[in-house]
Amino acid sequence: MDLTFNFTSIPHIFFGARKLNELYNIIPKFGRNVLYVIGGKSLKESGKWDEIVNMMEKKSINISIISVYGEPTPTLIDETVVMYKNKNIDLVVGIGGGSVTDAGKAISAMMPKEDSIMNYLEGVGNKIHDGKKIPYIAIPTTSGTGSEATKNAVISEVGSEGFKKSLRHDNLVPNYAIIDPELVLSSPSSVSAACGMDAFTQLIEAYVSPRASPITNVLAFTGMRYVKDAIIPVCSTHALDIGVRSAMAYGSLMSGIALANAGLGIIHGLASSLGGLFEIPHGVVCGTLLAESTKMNITQLQKIGDAGKKGLLKYAMVGALLVGKEGYENVDVSYYCSILIDTLEKWTNDLNIDRLGKYGITIKEVDKIVEKARMKNNPVQLKRENIMEIVQNRI
């Protein structure tokens, strides 16, 4: 067994119901001027935003606010930095879904810089970020991206020549992550479904990644253990159950830590391409491609004989986990791989995950989508026609 691996840092994590209260103890450690990056409306509608504002007033904290609608763009980041650069911001706090968390991360990273974020995006600019930033606290209000635990901020520019690229540095991991499941209670079922499928996608892609290590295997597996029993109830009968919401939040957090260290596969490679070309929620892309991509990976692993055995065994172990057969060493690989595919297809149908066609994507765009897709940490090398088939089957 090869026990050689690298493991990146993680935030100081506060996890559990009512842990939002920790925010009020943390902020004074950094200063009195705080920039809040929040979403469009859900936080305000939940009543939590009023609570936060009142506590800031009681503690004599000066706050500025920027609202993020949709995925963060280079223009949003650049304009926000220019607006607040000379206002002595001591701390950035991002409270919202993955887009908000990424926007806050990018703003905190670019505040010390004099130029555009475009210069630092992987595959777009020619500069490498040095890690200097304004301290940052991430507080998710969805359970999906795990961005509260990662070192990259995903920035999008949608269009025919669009992109979805990362600003990345080890020091961009948030200083603190506060995961309070009470903040997710008001999440609509459609959002909870897409985010939940995104989290499971990240967990399984990190688990089967060639870069996986014993520690990421454990983190990903425990995350899947919690998500598997919660993903359907959280979108239906148990939306207000704090225990179920906690399970999903835990799975999302584990997915962020695992992916930051093991990387992701073809699903996220396609999500990067699709997210740059079309206005489509990231969670929907991952959710709609999860079963098809997993099935294709398993099919291709089966074709390469001994070289595919390790990947197939890992997929089989996930299949066994999903039906409560966790821990079996001598699993029937073919059987449990089938169980995995069947379960993921059932989730996709039961959760009403949108097909790509709903967002204007047609067969004629498949070639360009695949051309822009990446496949860095997939468990098997897929051919172009394999990737095209994945996308075509979800249009």
Q: Can you tell me the distance from the alpha carbon of 257 to that of 179, in angstroms, rounded to the nearest whole number?
A: 14
* Neighbouring C-beta atoms of residue 254, cutoff 10 Å: 27
C-alpha 386/C-alpha 328 separation (Å) is 31
d(C-alpha 376, C-alpha 357), whole Å = 26
Strand extents, DSSP E, the chain: 12-15, 33-38, 62-67, 91-96, 136-140, 152-157, 163-168, 176-179
What is the residue extent of each domain of the chain? 12-184, 189-392
Residues 245 and 234 sit within 8 Å (Cβ to Cβ): yes
Annotation: CATH topology of 189-392: Dehydroquinate synthase-like, alpha domain (1.20.1090)
pLDDT, tens digit only, all 395 positions of the chain: 567 888 999 999 999 999 999 999 999 999 999 999 999 777 877 788 999 999 999 999 999 999 999 899 999 999 999 999 999 999 999 999 999 999 999 999 999 999 999 999 999 999 999 999 999 999 999 999 999 999 999 999 999 889 999 999 999 999 999 999 999 998 999 999 999 999 999 999 999 999 999 999 999 999 999 999 999 999 999 999 999 999 999 999 999 999 999 999 999 999 999 999 999 999 999 999 999 999 999 999 999 999 999 999 999 999 999 999 876 667 899 999 999 999 999 999 999 999 999 999 999 999 999 999 988 899 999 999 999 999 999 99
- The pLDDT score that the predictor gives to residue 19 is 97
Buried/exposed 88-102: b ≥16 CB within 10 Å, e otherwise = ebbbbbbbbbbbbbb
User: pLDDT tens digits for 97-144?
Assistant: 999 999 999 999 999 999 999 999 999 999 999 999 999 999 999 999
Bridge-based pairing state of the strands 12-15 and 33-38: unpaired
Q: How would you class 188 by CB atoms within 10 Å of its CB: exposed for 0-12, middle for 13-18, buried for 19 or more?
A: exposed
- Contact of 151 with 168, CB cutoff 8 Å: yes
3-state per-residue secondary structure call for 165-192: EEEECHHHCCCEEEECHHHHCCCCHHHH
Structure tokens at 272: 């990067």
What letters, b where the CB count within 10 A reaches 16 and e where it falls short, cover 112-136? Answer: ebeebbbebbeebbeeebeeebbbb
* Residue 103 CB partners (closer than 8 Å, separation 6+): 37, 66, 68, 72, 76, 77, 80, 94, 153
Kindly tell me the burial class for residue 57, based on how many C-beta atoms sit within 10 Å of its own C-beta (0-12, 13-18, 19 or more): exposed
- d(CA 31, CA 64) in angstroms, rounded, equals 13
Question: Rounded to 5 degrees, what are φ and ψ at 23?
Answer: -55, -40
State residue 391 phi and psi, 5-degree precision.
-65, -45
User: Alpha carbon of 50 to those of 39, 57, 97: distances in Å?
Assistant: 14, 11, 18
Nearest in space to 208 (alpha carbons), one of 290, 335, 297? 297
- b vs e for 282-311, b when ≥16 Cβ sit within 10 Å of the residue's Cβ? bbbbbbbbbbbbbbbbbbbbbeeeeebeeb
Res 284: pLDDT: 97
Compute CA distances 19 → 176, 182, 238, 248, whole Å. Answer: 12, 9, 21, 16
Q: Which residues pair with 36 in a beta bridge?
A: 65, 93
Residue type, 64: S
Are the beta carbons of 249 and 143 closer than 8 angstroms? Answer: yes
What's the confidence (pLDDT) of residue 375?
87
Asked if domains 12-184 and 189-392 share a fold, the reply is no
Tokens of 78: 């650049």
Confidence at residue 394, expressed as pLDDT on a 0 to 100 scale: 98
Token output for 279: 């206005």
Strands 163-168 and 152-157: antiparallel
CATH fold label, 12-184: Rossmann fold (3.40.50)
The whole model's pTM is what?
A: 0.96
